[in-house]
Amino acid sequence: MLSVLIFLPLLAAIVVAFSGANAKKVALIASVIEFAYSVCFYVRFTPTGGTQFLHSQSWIPQLGISFKVGMDGISLLLVMLTTFLVPLIITASFRREYKSPGLFYGLIMMMQFALIGVFVSLDAFLFYIFWELALIPIYLICLMWGGQDRLKITLKFFIYTLAGSLLMLVALIYLWMQTPGTHTFDLQAFYSLHLSSGQQSWLFWMLFLAFAIKMPIFPFHTWQPDTYTDAPAPGTMLLSGIMLKMGVYGLLRWLLPVVPQGVEEWGMTAMILSVIGIVYASLIAWSQKDFKRLIAYSSIAHVGLISAGVFSLTMQGMQGSVIQMLVHGINVVGLFFICDMIEQRTGTRQMEQLGGLRTTAPVFSTYFMIIMLASVALPLTNGFVGEFLLINGVFQYNQLLAAFAGLTIILGAGICLTPIVKLLLALRVQRHTISPRLSFPKKPFSFRSSS
Amino acid sequence: MKTLIILTSIGLVGLFSEIFRIRKILLPVVFIGLIAAIATAVGDWNTNVSYYNDMMVVDNYSLAFSITMIATTFLWFIMSSGFFSDDSNNSDHFALIIFALIGATLMTSFNNMLMLFLGIEILSISMYILAGSNKTSLASNESALKYFLMGSFATGFLLFGIALVYGATASFNITQIAAKIGTGDLQSSWMLYTGILMMMIAMAFKVSAAPFHFWAPDVYQGAPTVITSFMSTVVKTAAVAAFFRLFIHTFAGQPHMWHTTLWVISALTIIVGNILAVYQTNVKRMLAYSSISHAGYMLLAILAMNGSAGSSLLFYAIAYSASSLASFAILLTVSGATGNESIESFYGLGKKNPFVAVMVVISVLSLAGIPPTAGFFAKYYIFATAMQNGLTPLVLIAIAGSLIGVLYYFRLIIAIFRDGDNQAVTPAPLFKVVMVVAAVIALALGIVPGLVVGLL
């Protein structure tokens, strides 16, 4: 039952919220059960079977709103990514003590509930509810456990994303009004609408803005670096690992099929914005001094490439974007975990103050290196396939844009080699003192390589 | 009708309770009476009877709003029963509240201009007195005087409007006026035109829509907080419901005479209410501005003029009343502990009292219109209804307003997670009841909106 998969995390959230000091363990157990359960779906899934595990139940029949869920290949992959990453994220935070852990881990489970809901909804209203619902726990996580400037930053984040969402709501209501008969929010009904190209072009922007802000695509990205930097590590991982995918998923599920002519008309603009984002964010990332901020900006570059792949409207581009969503989710969570480990032990994320980790923590450094290289998409790492397909797709669409998008390979290498050089190799141990208590154990604890 | 008789009896019992020294049992009598009133109203469902030569029509619309307002008053009594207890005029206040409720009930069921006028006056005069019920406070006195002067001014407009509409249509009866207007003979009647505009101004005054909202912040802030909470829930619901009934049942035949004007009023109300609320540091005043902006959203239902407009207005009124009452209960709790109503008094509430903090989060989310609360569905429903009548530009303005709304509503959420002093904040048990009931309504209606959506 797909509904069980959706509501299990909600139930877990309530249990976790009241389990006090044991919240971590309860949350971990619950998320592992959830993962195991999602594997059952993976096993039972037939790759050529279209949308499966359909479940439909009328919810607000007067307004044509139903609780309709189901999974196809893209949904399945993203649900698996979610259920896989959440236990990892919880494990990654095991060493840290967050105040009021019940609430903290409860919110994480709540977040998982909303994210899974987003990926399996086949009813626009339901989709919107889950989409918004995902925003509240992450907002509270950033607000209550975030860094110095959290008050302003989280409000900016919330308003930014809410603005996009509300525009999307208007678009969805408009689409609902176009459906025949007593109106329905069913996705299939949206697919079979006959909209004029004028309607499609403004609907495109309403929907695109919501997704572009969430991902984020240049120039709607300004909330992202601050929020990523300021959020507590599990929050950043949730934001970058999974929540960002909501935007890409929205493009694939709700934008392209519903307003194809709009995409035809404005796809080039979206593509150019994505490519600008790649180059721009890469350049900024390169010059960052704060390691976490560097990852945040490089994430904008990555997601720019993913969205460029989507808008290339080629088979390779689409496939690449789906693969890259999965891979980016895993890699970026790994990177933020590394960043958190470093910060926890040395008390700083400033790369200038760090160095020589290779000598103090060789095993850790190896893992670090592997994930970093995966993030650059070196052949034989998980990042390569997706990035290759993506650039291939963009190349088929427009060669000039592909040339710029391809800069990501060079710039990406620059971005990733900087921390490798500064953190692992350079001998700046004198600049900060690693107290013996805080030093790295020979074998990094609880770190399962996720690449 | 029985509902009205029961309410009147409670009001009279309240008035005479001082003479017969039954003050102590007054509160139970009020509670039993309100429950009985709700029960009879529920019993009248789907009957659609008119009374007194068509002066009043009790239809589902009026019943639904009456029940909402009586239930809100019930919650209000739970919340504020202790507020006047040390005041010798306790029973008078109770009686006045009940009379205001009677006026509110009339305003939802009138079928004659005279009844509308009576309803508005019964409601308003009770509220003028109640606004000044804190006799020793200068602000409360000022609030009452301001309310009275401005309110009577609006009443003047209302009477002028009624007279002009009567001049054009030769009737006070809503059904007959609507029939006359529907024929199209009065297409270019300046008398009707002016009459409708004047009535609109008066009603805009009563719902505190911009640019007739200037009285609202001062009155809301000056009046005792419990009275403010009554004003911003029951009084507002009654005014909007009457506005809707008047314009949809009576003037819908000639939308060109009022639609554009009301469009502008609605847009202005949303913008002004939300933007000015951002600059408030006093939470009570902020809630006053927020209630102005909510009036703007509710006006969208009138502009929508279609089948589900009444239903969406009802949903909005319920969602808004519940969350608004909860936010005032919270404000009373917090300001009672810290002695002031500024935003700073909310600092650190998350640590001081997690229960109240959770209630703040739920009611603020609902007021701001964030899923899964009733406030979100209310906004969605009213926006969808409005868009069906081609009001997309106005809906976009309303959405911009909601975004600005997040700025100041979330200031409360942010405040409770800031560091604050260690002064204990403990809500009275009765306040807890109100908060919990409101939170349950906010969540239940957000998750199962079908409970109310199909009613009208």
Local confidence band at B90 (pLDDT 50, 70, 90 cut-offs): confident
How far out from the chain centre does Cα A258 lie? 23
Structural domain count, chain A: 2
| SS3 (DSSP) at A442 | coil
A32 and A178 assigned to the same domain: yes
Question: What is the rounded CA–CA span in Å between residue B19 and residue B5?
Answer: 22
Would you state the pLDDT for residue B86? 62
Task: Give me the interface pTM, i.e. the ipTM.
Answer: 0.88
Cβ distance A173 to B370 less than 8 Å, yes or no, reads no
- Structure-token pair, residue A331: 């890699």
Query: Per-residue pLDDT averaged across B139-152, rounded?
Result: 92
Chain A residues 48-87 within an 8 A CB cutoff of chain B:
59-63
pLDDT in tens, A338-348: 888 888 887 78
To the nearest whole Å, the CA of A131 is away from the closest chain B CA by 9
Instruction: Assess B388–A contact: CB distance below 8 Å, yes or no.
Output: yes
The nearest alpha carbon in chain A to B394 belongs to A170
Interface of B with A in 412-441 (CB under 8 A): 413-414, 417-418
Q: Helix, strand, or coil here: A186?
A: strand
What span, in angstroms and rounded, lies between the C-alpha atoms of A311 and A138?
Answer: 28
Q: Is A80 helix (H, G, I), strand (E, B) or coil?
A: helix
pLDDT tens-place string over residues A207-235: 999 999 998 888 888 898 889 888 888 99
DSSP run (H or E) holding B446? helix B429-447
Domain end residue (candidates: A209, A232, A258): A258
CB–CB contact A166 B387 (8 Å): no
CA B113 vs CA A167, B116, B252: distances in Å: 41, 5, 16
Interface test with B, best of A129, A179, A183 (most B CBs within 10 A): A129
| Contact at CB, B406 and A162, closer than 8 angstroms | yes
Classified as helix, coil or strand, B342 is: strand
Residue B269's pLDDT is 94
Identify the residue among B388, B394, B443 best suited for mutation to test binding to A, counting A beta carbons within 10 A and taking the highest.
B388
Domain boundary among A204, A223, A258: A258
Query: How many CB atoms lie under 10 A from the CB of residue A5?
Result: 22
Would the CA dihedral through A171, A175, A177, A182 be positive or negative? negative
- Read off the tokens for B126: 């009770």
B451–chain A Cβ distance below 8 A for any pair = no
A329 and A438 belong to one structural domain: yes
Q: Do A12 and A53 share a domain, yes or no?
A: yes
DSSP 3-state assignment of B298? helix
pLDDT of residue A437: 43
Question: How much of chain A exceeds pLDDT 90, in percent?
Answer: 32
pLDDT digits (tens, 9 = 90+) for B72-86: 999 999 888 777 666
In our burial notation (b when 16+ CB lie closer than 10 A, e otherwise), range A408-421 reads bbebbbebbebbbe
- pLDDT tier at A198 (50, 70, 90 boundaries)? confident
Interface test with B, best of A66, A130, A153, A158 (most B CBs within 10 A): A158
A431 lies in the same domain as A385: yes
Placement of tokens 């009133």 in the chain: B37
Residue B327 has pLDDT above 60, yes or no: yes
CB contact, 8 Å: A159 with chain B?
Answer: yes
Quote the minimal CA–CA distance from B220 to chain A in Å.
28
**Which residue would you say has higher pLDDT here, B394 or B350?**
B394
- pLDDT tens column, A395-431: 998 888 888 888 888 888 888 888 888 777 766 544 4
Rounded Cα distance, A332 and A382, in Å: 12
Nearest to A29 by CA among A127, A118, A124, A105: A105
- Which two three-digit tokens encode residue A112? 């998982």
Q: What pLDDT band is residue B397 in, cutting at 50, 70 and 90?
A: very high
Residue B94 — pLDDT band, cuts 50, 70, 90?
A: confident
Q: Which helix (H) or strand (E) holds A65?
A: strand A65-71
Q: Which of residues 72-131 of B touch A (CB under 8 A)?
A: none
- 3-state SS track over B406-425: HHHHHHHHHHHCCCCCCCCC
In angstroms, what CA-CA distances link B3 with A98, A253, B41, B105, B241?
Answer: 55, 52, 6, 9, 18
pLDDT at B87: 63
Comparing alpha-carbon positions, the chain A residue that sits nearest to B414 is A151
Number of H helices and E strands in chain A, helices first, is 19, 2
Q: What is the mean pLDDT of residues A149-168?
A: 88
User: How many residues in total does chain A contain?
Assistant: 451
**Which residues of chain B make contact with A62, given a CB cutoff of 8 A?**
450, 453-454
Q: Whole-angstrom Cα distance, residue B451 to residue B421?
A: 42
Closest Cα of chain B to A163: distance in Å? 7
Q: What is the pLDDT of residues B29-85, one digit of tens each?
A: 889 999 999 999 999 888 888 888 888 999 999 999 999 999 999 999 988 877 766
What's residue A443's pLDDT?
44
Does residue A293 share a domain with residue A237? Answer: no
Q: What is the pLDDT of residue A447?
A: 37
Q: What confidence tens digit (pLDDT) does each residue in A284-314 have?
A: 998 888 888 999 999 999 999 999 999 998 9
Interchain contact B403–A (C-beta under 8 A): yes
Query: Is-contact A118 A249, C-beta < 8 A?
Result: yes
Measured distance CA(B104)–CA(B66) in Å, rounded: 8
A170 in contact with chain B, both atoms CB, cutoff 8 A: yes
Subunit contact A173:B387, Cβ cutoff 8 A: yes
The span from the CA of A199 to the CA of A193, in Å, is: 11
Beta carbons of B399 and A169 less than 8 Å apart: yes
Q: Which domain holds residue A324?
A: 260-451
Residues B329-356: b if buried by 16+ CB within 10 A, e if exposed: bbbbbbbebbeebbbebbbbbbbbbeeb
Q: What is the pLDDT of residues B179-205, one digit of tens each?
A: 988 887 887 888 999 999 999 999 999
**Judgement on whether residues A303 and A394 belong to the same structural domain of the protein:** yes
Residues 6+ apart with CB under 8 A from A187: A68, A122, A123, A124, A127, A253, A254
B395 within 8 A of B296, measured Cβ to Cβ: no
- Tell whether the model's pLDDT for residue B110 goes beyond 80: yes
CB B450 to CB A144 under 8 A? no
Mutate which: B403, B408, B447, vs A, most A CBs within 10 A = B403
User: HSE (CB half, 13 Å, CA atoms) of A337?
Assistant: 31
How many angstroms separate the CA atoms of B454 and A253, rounded?
31
The chain-wide mean pLDDT, for chain A, equals 86
Cross-strand bridge partners of residue A124: none
> In this complex, is the C-beta atom of B396 within 8 Å of any C-beta atom belonging to chain A?
yes
Amino acid identity, position B38:
I
The structure tokens listed for B90 are 């306790």
B278 touches chain A (CB under 8 A): no
Helix axes A101-120, A2-17, angle to 10 degrees: 170
Give the residue-averaged pLDDT of A364-393.
88
Predicted pLDDT of residue A435: 44
Which pLDDT band, with edges at 50, 70 and 90, does A362 fall under? confident
Q: How far is B421 from chain A (nearest CA, A)?
A: 17
Q: What are the CA-CA distances from residue A294 to residues A147, A285, A302, A418, B233 (Å)?
A: 17, 5, 12, 10, 50
Closest chain A residue to the Cα of B453, Cα to Cα: A62
- pLDDT value of residue B348: 84
The angle at the Cα of B227, spanning B222 to B230, to the nearest 5 degrees, equals: 130
> Count of residues for chain B?
456
Residue A251 is encoded by which pair of tokens?
């493009």
Residues of B in Cβ contact (< 8 Å) with A129: 371-372
Q: Which residue of A has its CA nearest to B404?
A: A159
pLDDT band at B240 (very low <50, low <70, confident <90, very high): very high
Are the C-beta atoms of residues B456 and B64 closer than 8 Å to each other?
A: yes
**Domain identity same for A231 and A251:** yes
List, as own/partner pairs, every contact residues B132-140 make where C-beta atoms lie below 8 angstroms and the sequence separation is at least 24, other chains included.
Answer: B132/B223, B133/B84, B133/B87, B133/B89, B133/B93, B133/B223, B133/B224, B133/B227, B134/B223, B134/B224, B137/B222, B137/B224, B139/B221, B139/B222, B140/B222, B140/B223, B140/B224
* CB of A129 less than 8 A from some CB of B: yes
Q: What is the structure's pLDDT at A357?
A: 77
Distance CA B427, CA B442 (A): 20
Is the Cβ of A10 closer than 8 Å to some Cβ of chain B? no
Suggest the residue from B312, B377, B455 to mutate for an interface test with chain A (most A CBs closer than 10 A): B377
Show Cβ contacts of residue A166 under 8 Å, excluding neighbours closer than 6 positions.
B399, B402, B403
Q: Is the pLDDT of residue A19 over 60?
A: yes
Which residues of chain A make contact with B350, given a CB cutoff of 8 A?
A: 144
Write down the number of H helices and E strands in chain B: 20, 2
Question: For the segment A109-151, what is each residue's pLDDT rounded down to a tens digit?
Answer: 999 999 999 999 999 999 999 999 999 999 989 888 888 888 8
Residues A308 and A235 in one domain: no
Give, in order, the Cα–Cα distances in Å from A99 to each of A155, A335, A413, B230, B351.
Answer: 21, 24, 38, 39, 11
Q: Three-state SS for A53?
A: strand
pLDDT of residue B220: 92
Interchain contact B282–A (C-beta under 8 A)? no
| B147: pLDDT strictly greater than 90 | yes
- The domain boundary, picked from A258, A283, A305, lies at A258
Question: With 70 as the cut, is the pLDDT of residue A272 above it?
Answer: yes
Cβ separation of A170 and B402 shorter than 8 Å?
A: no
- Asked whether the beta carbons of A349 and A343 are under 8 A apart, the reply is yes
User: What whole-number distance in Å separates Cα of residue B129 and Cα of residue B124?
Assistant: 9
Q: Does B357 touch chain A (CB under 8 A)?
A: no
The C-alpha R_g of chain B, in whole angstroms, comes to 21
Of B403, B413, B453, the CB nearest to A60: B453
Q: What is the model's pLDDT at position A1? A: 81
B410, B447, B451, B453, best to mutate vs chain A, most A CBs in 10 Å = B410
To the nearest whole Å, the CA of B414 is away from the closest chain A CA by 7
Output B416 or A443, whichever has higher pLDDT. B416
- Run of H or E including A71: strand A65-71
